[in-house]
Amino acid sequence: MSKIKISAELSHLCPLADIVRQARVLEDKGFYRVWVPDTMVSPWEAWLAASLIIQNTSKLRIGLGVTNPYTRHPVVMAQMACTLQALSQGRLALSIGKGIARFLEKAGIGQNEKAVEECVTILRSLTNGERFSFEGQAFRLDAVRLRMDPSEKKIPIYLAAIGPSGWETAARVADGVATIWSKNIKESRQRYLNGKPLPLAVLVPFSQSQPDFFPNTVQSGEILAEQVAELEEAGVDETIIAYGDRKDLKFITSKFGQ
């Protein structure tokens, strides 16, 4: 059994002025990756926050996501991703999901069941430097090509999977699967991936003082350690600890850092 990789999700409560400091703490403590959530409830914009981290770290991998193909059109997403991949010298990964319906509704944005899968198709072609035409249910492209060199290192594309359809789509088209902790992770992995060697990243929300930080937030360090151990036993490749504040960051880096 391979050792699980320990990553963190930059807290959506992190002040803009503290992003670089927190990322450097994670890098100094040997964390595998920091995921930057693309959410409207953070006091910063995700892609610019990821750029700040990239420019102020040298080894720490950066995950952008979960993002979505509605507030970030696939063509714009591809251009931003290629820029960050070049800037980071190959440290970027993306995670794409269908978005949070209530937030999209507030912005007057409708969802399409094919948008995520079509987004992956478009991203792959454009980040490979192709001139690409596409006629889909959600998106249409007419001979689009980015005016930048394609990435030398492929940008891994994870898909967010909660329900069966998310797992099935991820298993079919993604480079990896991102999901949230549940007691059924091992069964879901076996059922939907069925031996397919896709990396699986599982988010565990953790806050010692804010029980409403995230749905099903873990508040005990002991329980957090138990859940990480369970994920490792289940063969999960990466755990993403979503921490609440500086106190939680200090705890997870002392507990899981090198």
- 24 vs 218: CA distance, rounded Å: 24
C-beta of residue 10 within 8 angstroms of C-beta of residue 23 = yes
Task: For the chain, give the DSSP string.
Answer: -PPPEEEEEPPTT--GGGHHHHHHHHHHTT-SEEEE---TTSSS-HHHHHHHHHHT-SS-EEEEEEE-TTTS-HHHHHHHHHHHHHHHTS-EEEEE----HHHHHHTT----TTHHHHHHHHHHHHHTT--EEEE-SS-EEEEE--SSPPPSS---EEEE--SHHHHHHHHHH-SEEEEE--TTHHHHIIIIITT----EEEEEEE-SS-TTSSTT-B--HHHHHHHHHHHHHTT-SEEEEEE-SHHHHHHHHHHH--
C-beta of residue 126 within 8 angstroms of C-beta of residue 75 = yes
What is the pLDDT averaged over residues 128-135? 97
Closest Cα to residue 77, out of 62, 94, 91?
94
What is the pLDDT averaged over residues 123-144? 97
C-beta of residue 8 within 8 angstroms of C-beta of residue 35 = yes
Taking only the tens place, the pLDDT of each residue in 183-234 is 999 999 999 998 889 999 999 999 999 999 998 999 999 999 999 999 999 9
C-beta of residue 133 within 8 angstroms of C-beta of residue 141 = yes
Taking only the tens place, the pLDDT of each residue in 175-197 is 999 999 999 999 999 999 988 89
pLDDT above 90 (res 137): yes
In the block, which residue shows the tokens 């850092």?
A: 257
Structure tokens at 29: 């403590």
What is the pLDDT averaged over residues 72-83? 97
Q: What is the pLDDT of residue 175?
A: 97
- 70 vs 110: CA distance, rounded Å: 8
For the chain, the maximum distance between any two Cα atoms, rounded to a whole number of angstroms, is 54
Closest Cα to residue 158, out of 249, 114, 95?
95
**Domain count across the chain:** 1
2 band by pLDDT with thresholds 50, 70 and 90: low
Domain holding 72, by residue range, is: 5-256
What CATH number does residue 188 fall under?
3.20.20.30
Q: Specify the pTM.
A: 0.96
pLDDT above 90 (res 141): yes
Percent of the chain with pLDDT over 90: 91
Neighbouring CB atoms inside 10 A of 48's CB total 12
